[in-house]
Amino acid sequence: MHKDLLKSIVAIGGLAVVVAVLIFFNLPGPVVEPDATYTGQAESYGGTMNVTVGLARNEIVAIDVSHTDTPGIANPAIETVRSNILSAQNVDVDGKSGATVTVNAVKEAVARALHEAGWSESRIGMALPEEPTIEPDVTYSGTAESYGGPLTVTVGLKDGEIVTIEVEHEDTPGIARPVINEIRNAVISAQSADVDLISGATVTSRALVEAISEALTEAGF
């Protein structure tokens, strides 16, 4: 009887070890926080798809997608292509069949974000289609002091609306670029320089807003 009891204890102990090992190996890995984020857009079924790509040490660690496609079809397709991009570290990946438009929109939007991050097309895995450009009727300039020195903008207007904002600066590119893109998009969307500053980069964003405000004042806005 003692032998049977001993065997049972050993068996239970062995099972516990196996379970512990399985649990250990199935623990999720540590979440890597991005040290920089970049945004990209592409047209999909439901309208404009927006992505935010997070990079850490210049590798893709996060992809957030905002869309208005049909959730039941789009969400699983987005999850599949997002996982594949994270694994491959480029957008030259397969997606879920039956949702080609959504998948291609994710890939293009991520590619545009990576292009903003300074990645080459060969590393991105896609040759970016050219975006249609709107030629302004007239341009106005403004300048403000930023971290790296003077920040200069050229604001283009067409039919009385803000259509382009070009920025020249000497701030740190990896920090300044996403801030400039976000502020620029916000100003064009609002048709006003009265937009929120970006936390963590207030000097660059304040300089950009001041320079745009100066240009718009010159334009009579």
Q: What is the CATH number of the domain that holds 119?
A: 3.90.1010.20
pLDDT, residue 3, reads 54
**Residue in 213, 183, 210, 177 with CA at minimum distance from that of residue 198:** 183
Question: Which has more confidence, 129 or 25?
Answer: 129
Phi and psi dihedrals of 36, rounded to 5?
-160, 145
**Residue in 205, 203, 210 with CA at minimum distance from that of residue 185:** 205
Q: Does residue 165 fall inside a structural domain?
A: yes
Question: Which has more confidence, 139 or 36?
Answer: 139
Those residues with Cβ within 8 angstroms of residue 165's Cβ, 6 or more apart along the chain or in another chain: 153, 154, 155, 156, 184, 187, 188, 212
Q: pLDDT tens, 164-179?
A: 999 999 988 767 877 8
Both 197 and 158 in one domain: the answer is yes
- Are 53 and 38 a contacting pair, CB within 8 Å? yes
Question: Is pLDDT above 60 for 106?
Answer: yes
The whole-angstrom separation of Cα 76 and Cα 29 is 22
Both 109 and 166 in one domain: the answer is no
Q: What range does the domain containing 103 cover?
A: 36-124
Please give the tally of structural domains in the chain: 2
Q: Which of 74, 99, 124 is the last residue of a domain?
A: 124
Lowest mean pLDDT among 4-13, 56-65, 141-150: 4-13
Instruction: Provide the token pair at 221.
Output: 């806005």
Specify burial of residue 187 (Cβ count, 10 A radius: 0-12, 13-18, 19+): buried
Lowest mean pLDDT among 6-15, 67-76, 201-210: 6-15
pLDDT band at 24 (very low <50, low <70, confident <90, very high): very low
Within the chain, residue ranges assigned H as helices are 2-25, 71-88, 100-116, 121-124, 173-190, 202-219
Q: pLDDT tens, 117-160?
A: 889 999 999 988 766 667 899 999 999 999 999 999 999 999 99
Q: Does residue 133 fall inside a structural domain?
A: no
Cα four-point dihedral sign 113, 118, 121, 125: negative
Q: Does residue 30 fall inside a structural domain?
A: no
Both 113 and 149 in one domain: the answer is no
Question: Which has more confidence, 29 or 58?
Answer: 58
Question: Is pLDDT above 80 for 25?
Answer: no
Both 92 and 150 in one domain: the answer is no
